[in-house]
DNA sequence: TTGAAAGCGCTACCAG
DNA sequence: CTGGTAGCGCTTTCAA
């Protein structure tokens, strides 16, 4: 039904080869026929069949993006960054959502490979213990870049943030505003979780050396329980422990938002009674009931960078081995940690060199509409 | 490099045809050879090349999704609904983001067709005046379904909401809580805009017959100005007009959020001085500084339904002509319209039959993480 | 400068 | 029941 190369060739009384070359500006075709071809193509509204081309040349000009959860606006923004970059280079994006399920992710990757994508960007749901998926990809020499979630054992370019720094940044901030008992709601089942916990511990150690295990609670979900309720419960648990924390660093914004909810529900004030910081700088986090202090990770930039690197990787045909990229972090200070002026007593020991904190320009005022 | 059908055929000393049939369970192949094939396939880890298959059978088992703005969480959720449905049916999703640009959308569609997608789901950025893109699709007999943004002149299945009802629902709510001067911040450049305005007008007419044109301001952007600032300015303008509105129905949540910001910035209280309702029930809208009353549109359900219909359309090979689907609306009442108890004086005339309002269960408590 | 022809990997028709 | 074989639409090499 659709018009083929042959159709325009026949109509012009020339060969398909000639048309093909004319179209890609091969210089061994006369300008005259080239013009005729171009005109005819326009006239018939010829569109090359990319399946056929892909089969023929062995490259599809398509890449796959595997995301653990598109509902999370963090990943939606990443996806946006990826699409922008990819579309600007005339590639097509194949999207798969693993819903945080490692097995679903495997199948999704399998399917994308069967479609002969030229490469993959993966924000993975695999556990750190099972790297077989990535090993398989390497064995097959499929170019791929790891996004957001890092697997140190895997030698593939990574684009994301340094979670240790993130955890430290957030925790130091809480300490700096005078919190004495800083808790952490973690999510160790996600690849970025342990690093943030570690950053939290580092900051505490550097400050006064003590980390109270009772002030760390994890939200790894047992079964189908939603993250929101897990977070809510985690906060309730923290708030009933003694000493009661006066500052909480949460693994991410959704958790932080639920933590705040939990605190308010039991009659505590945020930030006066307990300060909260999240991570991700989700849209509208400055318009929340209590505007949320959070660590911005520039997800769109992350996505764009990952795509850019993947495309380089593909076009360089393996001659390139790009370094990991760490997107700069940015602590955005808002109400949830804005303590009534109160000098921090006993600032013990020299605090370790802190990463520079860029001006916390709100993101929700930007393009998020 | 990757293993082909031929490789397994050779290894088994049979023909590719036999292998092909064995794999798809054609009954004219002996169980014995079928087993041998299956085993060999597993052993060699054979993966069919879907480009080749697509070329051969003329169907790609892939569909395209065209979205105007993935950053907007409304569309991210739609995309999520689509992916779920599509993946469950073993289709692949090709994603394109038009960034609200009609021309970019055309090109994106062109590219998807060149990749021989079996159909398209389009939340379009085309203006109502230029339907050529859709006409072209119909001419080429490409199955497609219109999502969220409706083009009445186009005979293609539509999945979305009834904007007139939405506008009426929101406006009636404001009237019901006692607002005397209900304003509307519209966005007429988007296909869903006019319907909502109309619903607003209908509600006012039914109530007391008067609609003040000064209380309607549009946010169609001049140039590169962001929606957020357009919305903010629109609200400022409204607030300085006399009579000052005491209730505002906003085209969508991002606009509503900025409108609230504008009101608070000039020292007004929400909802006491001015009540605000949005549309979309964006994540966390119940955790905003002022939790936002909004009309929920169940975007994930919308996406899933659209995909489902498209797949039916494809598999029925045009024998089917599905009806438009209107996803039920759901007014979610929160702080931004929770007026201090105040009886509505002078409830003139019988208010028109109102759509049932389902229980306003918050969405942010759900899976949005 | 042009064209014939051989694939790319898979499917499907039709003859054995 | 099985296996040649002729495409699907495009690219590319090689000969004219």
Label the pairing between strands A92-97 and B92-97.
antiparallel
Distance between CA atoms of residues A227 and A221, nearest Å: 7
Per-residue model confidence as pLDDT tens digits over B299-310: 999 999 999 999
C-alpha distances (whole Å) from A300 to each of A75, A146, A280, B76, B145 are: 9, 15, 11, 14, 29
- Strand C positions with any atom < 7 Å from protein CB? 1-5, 7-13
Q: Domain B163-297+329-363 sits in which CATH superfamily? A: Response regulator (3.40.50.2300)
Two tokens, residue A94: 């194949």
The count of residues in chain B is 369
Name the closest residue on chain B to residue A369, using Cα atoms.
Answer: B72
Q: Which of the four pLDDT bands, split at 50, 70 and 90, describes residue B32? A: confident
Query: Three-class SS of residue B261?
Result: helix
For CATH 3.40.50.2300, list the domain ranges present in chain B.
56-161+300-326, 163-297+329-363
Residue B123's H or E segment, with its range, is none
In A1-101, alpha helices (H): 5-12, 16-23, 31-44, 50-57, 73-88
Which residue is closest to D7 in terms of CA–C1' distance?
B56
pLDDT value, residue A356: 32
Per-residue model confidence as pLDDT tens digits over A139-155: 999 999 999 999 989 99
The per-residue b/e assignment along B247-276, b for 16 or more CB within 10 angstroms, e otherwise, is: bbbbbbbbbbbbbbbbbbeeebebbeebbb
Which residue is closest to D6 in terms of CA–C1' distance?
B56
Residues A112, B94: C-beta atoms closer than 8 Å = no
Q: Which residue has the higher pLDDT, B323 or A183?
A: A183
Q: Residue A357 in contact with residue A277, Cβ under 8 Å?
A: no
Mean pLDDT of all residues belonging to chain B? 87
CA distance A287 to chain B (A): 5
A18 touches strand C (CB under 7 A): yes
For CATH 1.10.260.40, list the domain ranges present in chain B.
5-48
Residue B210: Cβ-neighbour burial (10 angstroms; 0-12, 13-18, 19+):
exposed
pLDDT value, residue A326: 96
Per-residue model confidence as pLDDT tens digits over B123-159: 999 988 999 999 999 999 999 999 999 998 999 999 9
Q: Residue A363 in contact with residue A281, Cβ under 8 Å?
A: yes
Give the count of Cβ contacts less than 8 A between chain A and B: 193
CA distance A50 to chain B (A): 5
Angle, in degrees to the nearest 10, between helices B102-114 and B132-139: 10
Count CB atoms within 10 A of the CB of residue B223. Answer: 4
Q: Domain B5-48 sits in which CATH superfamily? A: lambda repressor-like DNA-binding domains (1.10.260.40)
Q: Which residues of B touch A108 (CB under 8 A)?
A: 87
Q: Which residues of A touch B185 (CB under 8 A)?
A: none
The residue among A173, A164, A163, A148 whose CA lies nearest residue A357 is A173
Per-residue model confidence as pLDDT tens digits over B306-344: 999 999 999 987 777 778 999 999 999 999 999 765 444
pLDDT value, residue A292: 93
C-alpha distances (whole Å) from A328 to each of A77, A192, A295, A297, B204 are: 16, 16, 10, 7, 51
Q: Name the E strands within B42-127.
A: 62-67, 92-97, 119-122
Angle, in degrees to the nearest 10, between helices B163-176 and B193-208: 40
Q: Is pLDDT at A349 greater than 50 in this prediction?
A: no
Q: Which residue has the higher pLDDT, A307 or A287?
A: A307
Distance between CA atoms of residues B121 and B66, nearest Å: 6
Per-residue model confidence as pLDDT tens digits over A213-245: 999 999 987 666 788 899 999 999 999 999 999
Distance between CA atoms of residues B139 and B142, nearest Å: 8
Q: Is pLDDT at A62 greater than 60 in this prediction?
A: yes
Distance between CA atoms of residues B290 and A225, nearest Å: 28
Peptide bond into B243 cis (omega under 30): yes
Which CATH entry fits the domain spanning A56-161+300-326: 3.90.950.10, 3.30.300.180, 3.30.450.40, 3.40.50.2300?
A: 3.40.50.2300
Q: What is the pTM of this model?
A: 0.85
Name the closest residue on chain A to residue B224, using Cα atoms.
Answer: A367
Q: Which residue has the higher pLDDT, A322 or A42?
A: A42
B10 touches strand D (CB under 7 A): no
pLDDT value, residue B165: 98
Name the closest residue on chain A to residue B112, using Cα atoms.
Answer: A92
| Distance, CA of B135 to C1' of D3, in Å | 46
Q: Is pLDDT at A362 greater than 60 in this prediction?
A: no
Per DSSP, the residues of A133-201 read HHHHHHHTT--EEEESS--TTS-S-EEE--HHHHHHHHHHHHHHTT-SSEEEEE-TTSTTHHHHHHHHH
C-alpha distances (whole Å) from A179 to each of A171, A182, A344, B179 are: 10, 6, 8, 45
Q: Which residue has the higher pLDDT, A352 or A6?
A: A6
């Amino acid at each position: 039904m659709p018009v083929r190369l042959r159709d325009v060739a026949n109509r012009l009384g020339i060969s398909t080869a000639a048309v093909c070359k004319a179209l890609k500006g091969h210089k061994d075709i006369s300008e005259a026929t080239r013009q005729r071809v171009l005109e005819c193509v326009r006239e018939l509204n010829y569109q090359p069949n990319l399946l056929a081309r892909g089969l023929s040349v062995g490259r599809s000009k398509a890449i796959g993006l595997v995301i653990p959860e598109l509902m999370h606006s963090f990943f939606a923004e990443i996806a946006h960054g990826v699409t922008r970059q990819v579309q600007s280079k005339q590639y097509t994006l194949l999207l798969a959502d693993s819903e945080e399920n490692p097995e679903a992710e495997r199948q999704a990757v399998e399917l994308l490979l069967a479609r002969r994508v030229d490469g993959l960007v993966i924000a993975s749901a695999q556990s750190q213990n099972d790297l077989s998926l990535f090993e398989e990809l390497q064995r097959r020499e499929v170019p791929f870049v790891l996004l957001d979630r890092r697997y140190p054992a895997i030698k593939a370019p990574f684009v994301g943030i340094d979670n240790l720094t993130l955890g430290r940044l957030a925790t130091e901030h809480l300490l700096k505003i005078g919190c004495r008992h800083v808790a952490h709601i973690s999510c160790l089942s996600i690849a970025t979780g342990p690093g943030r916990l570690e950053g939290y511990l580092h900051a505490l150690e550097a400050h006064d050396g003590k980390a109270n295990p009772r002030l760390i609670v994890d939200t790894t979900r047992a079964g189908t329980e939603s993250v929101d309720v897990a977070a809510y419960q985690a906060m309730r648990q923290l708030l009933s422990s003694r000493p009661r924390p006066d500052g909480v660093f949460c693994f991410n914004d959704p958790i932080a938002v639920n933590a705040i909810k939990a605190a308010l529900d039991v009659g505590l004030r945020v930030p006066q009674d307990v300060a909260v910081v999240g991570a991700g700088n989700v849209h509208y986090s400055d318009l929340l009931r209590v505007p949320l202090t959070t660590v911005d990770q520039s997800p769109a930039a992350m996505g764009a960078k990952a795509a850019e690197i993947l495309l380089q990787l593909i076009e360089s045909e393996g001659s390139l081995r790009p370094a990991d990229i760490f997107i700069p972090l940015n602590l955005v200070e808002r109400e949830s940690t804005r303590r009534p002026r109160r000098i921090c007593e006993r600032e013990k020991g020299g605090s370790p060199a802190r990463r520079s904190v860029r001006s916390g320009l709100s993101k929700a005022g930007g393009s998020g509409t």
